């Protein structure tokens, strides 16, 4: 993917977020809908293939939160993609706990708080930007097998153990693939 | 505060991805409230999630209808909201005073204990208000939640200087120190430390003499006491665990 182009289009969307929070601009919401809804649906369908109704429900739920919570989004602390990913992830967890065989009374709202820190810290923000760029560039360069495992965990919502079962590989292999990938993306530094 | 024992990178990744079970996620969320290092790690792992998320897309879906129904819904909600906004405003004011009273109660009851935010759903009024079941004169447990087909989350409260009888685990056990400290033959564990033990592990934790110890535990299966006398506890432990047949 062309990194420069992506950053440029991200800027437009951050402008749209601003237009929503300040002017309640429905046109801006319309543009974000076009961009993000196919991604949110794909994210849901990766975990539950064929569950189109669920995908539609979650996509709508996420976009309603975008509309209502736009003012809480701070571009300097997280990219818009990351922010919307957390909304989609949390909505998917909530949907699954209410509709699955194993219903849970644990409310995910208590467990995944906003990525956005309460205290502004310019040093941390700069660090965050660098991490963001490193991850974006590094991800494209990862070998196929490492990308595949990351996709299983993040998009299909599988644990390491479930990914191992599905790919018929030993758990150790999955663990080392993820660790290698995280190491290359400088997310994981051995303690 | 220096924390020496952390969750594995696999658990942190599964948590950031949202693929970890809710019971285990509870222990991670509680740990990262106290651990700057893991907070940073989660931040980066979440950024990775955002990046993977942007690369997905469905081409086939027709979102025109979905969009129309979405904007209808939004207008409907906004309309009903503006109509009931005065009522809501009042409600919010009431709620915030309620919230304050509960915070105050929390402080007056237990001056030094701050219940982590991640546990407040199950511990809204402080540790003392929970239903504690005594296991021995110095050990009590309070179950926070039990998942059908999943693990059990509980708090263990042990008096200063006391020990838990030697036991093994029939499944994996996570222990997170919330207050005080304890030790076993592998080390000493203080506030914020996150310890994972598997079924093969046999241990006898002992609480330090200066203060009582409160731990959060996540159990995949009931623990088994191995001493001849304490084996009497086993039926009780099984009864309080969702996986039991009793």
List the domain boundaries for chain A: 3-120, 142-191
Mean pLDDT of chain B: 81
User: Which residues share a beta bridge with B187?
Assistant: B184
Residue keyed to tokens 């792992």: B45
- pLDDT, one tens digit per residue, over B146-202 is 876 668 899 999 999 998 877 666 678 899 999 999 998 889 999 999 999 877 777
Give the contacts of B53 (CB within 8 A, at least 6 positions apart).
A39, A43, A81, A84, A85, A88, A154, A155
Class in CATH terms, B127-239: mainly beta
Of B18, B54, B66, the CB nearest to A56: B66
Of A150, A158, A191, the CB nearest to B52: A150
Does pLDDT of A81 surpass 50? yes
Q: How confident is the model at residue B95, as a pLDDT?
A: 47
Does pLDDT of A87 surpass 70? yes
Residue keyed to tokens 């093969």: B200
Mean pLDDT of chain A: 88
Chain A residues inside the 8 Å CB shell of B48: 135, 139, 150, 154, 182, 185, 187
Domain boundaries, chain B: 127-239
CA distance B221 to B75: 49
Decide yes or no: CATH 3.20.20.140 for domain A3-120: no
Are the C-beta atoms of residues B29 and B38 closer than 8 Å to each other?
A: no
- What number of residues does chain B have? 246
Q: Which fold has domain A142-191?
A: Arc Repressor Mutant, subunit A (1.10.10)
- Among B81-85, B136-140, B222-226, the range scoring the smallest mean pLDDT is B222-226
- pLDDT, one tens digit per residue, over A39-64 is 999 999 999 998 999 999 999 999 99
Q: Predicted confidence band at B93 (pLDDT cuts at 50, 70, 90)?
A: very low
Does pLDDT of A148 surpass 60? yes
Q: Which tokens go with B222?
A: 């009931």
ipTM above 0.95?
no
Closest-CA distance of chain A to residue B2, Å: 14
- Among A93-97, A145-149, B94-98, B211-215, the range scoring the smallest mean pLDDT is B94-98
Nearest to A179 by CA among B41, B27, B30, B26: B41
Closest-CA distance of chain A to residue B195, Å: 15
Q: What percent of chain A has pLDDT over 90?
A: 64
Q: How confident is the model at residue A189, as a pLDDT?
A: 72
């Amino acid at each position: 993917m062309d990194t420069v182009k992506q950053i440029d289009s991200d800027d437009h969307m951050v402008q749209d977020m601003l237009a929503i929070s300040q002017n309640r601009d429905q046109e801006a919401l319309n543009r974000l809908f076009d961009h993000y809804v196919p991604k949110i649906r794909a994210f849901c369908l990766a975990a539950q293939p064929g569950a189109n109704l669920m995908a539609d429900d979650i996509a709508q739920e996420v976009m309603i939160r975008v509309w209502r919570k736009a003012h809480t989004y701070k571009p300097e602390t997280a990219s818009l993609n990351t922010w919307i990913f957390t909304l989609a992830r949390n909505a998917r967890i909530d949907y699954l706990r209410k509709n699955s065989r194993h219903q849970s009374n644990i409310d995910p709202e208590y467990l995944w708080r906003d990525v956005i820190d309460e205290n502004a810290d310019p040093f941390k923000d700069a660090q965050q930007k660098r991490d963001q760029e490193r991850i974006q560039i590094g991800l494209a360069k990862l070998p196929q097998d490492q990308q595949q495992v990351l996709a299983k965990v993040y998009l299909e919502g599988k644990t390491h153990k479930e990914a191992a079962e599905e790919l018929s590989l030993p758990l150790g292999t999955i663990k080392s693939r993820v660790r290698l990938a995280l190491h290359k993306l400088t997310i994981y530094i051995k303690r | 505060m220096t924390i020496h024992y952390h969750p594995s990178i696999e658990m942190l990744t599964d948590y950031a991805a949202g693929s970890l079970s809710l019971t285990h996620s509870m222990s991670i969320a509680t740990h990262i409230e106290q651990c700057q290092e893991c907070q940073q790690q989660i931040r980066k792992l979440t950024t990775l999630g955002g990046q993977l998320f942007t690369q997905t897309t469905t081409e086939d879906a027709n979102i025109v209808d979905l969009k129309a129904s979405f904007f209808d819904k939004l207008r409907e909600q906004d309309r009903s909201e503006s109509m009931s906004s005065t009522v809501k405003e009042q409600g919010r004011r009431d709620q915030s005073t309620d919230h304050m009273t509960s915070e105050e109660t929390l402080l007056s009851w237990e001056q030094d204990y701050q219940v982590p935010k991640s546990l407040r759903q199950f511990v809204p009024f402080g540790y003392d208000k929970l239903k504690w079941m005594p296991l021995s004169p110095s050990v009590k447990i309070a179950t926070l939640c039990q998942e059908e087909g999943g693990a059990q989350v509980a708090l263990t409260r042990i008096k200063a200087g006391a020990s838990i009888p030697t036991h093994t685990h029939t499944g994996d056990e996570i222990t997170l120190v919330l207050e005080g400290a304890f030790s076993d033959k592998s080390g000493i564990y203080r506030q914020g430390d996150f310890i994972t033990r598997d079924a093969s592990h046999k241990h006898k934790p002992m609480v330090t003499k200066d203060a009582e110890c409160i731990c959060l535990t996540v159990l995949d299966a009931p623990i088994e006491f191995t001493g001849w006398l304490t084996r009497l506890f086993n039926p009780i432990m099984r009864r309080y665990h969702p996986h039991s047949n009793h």
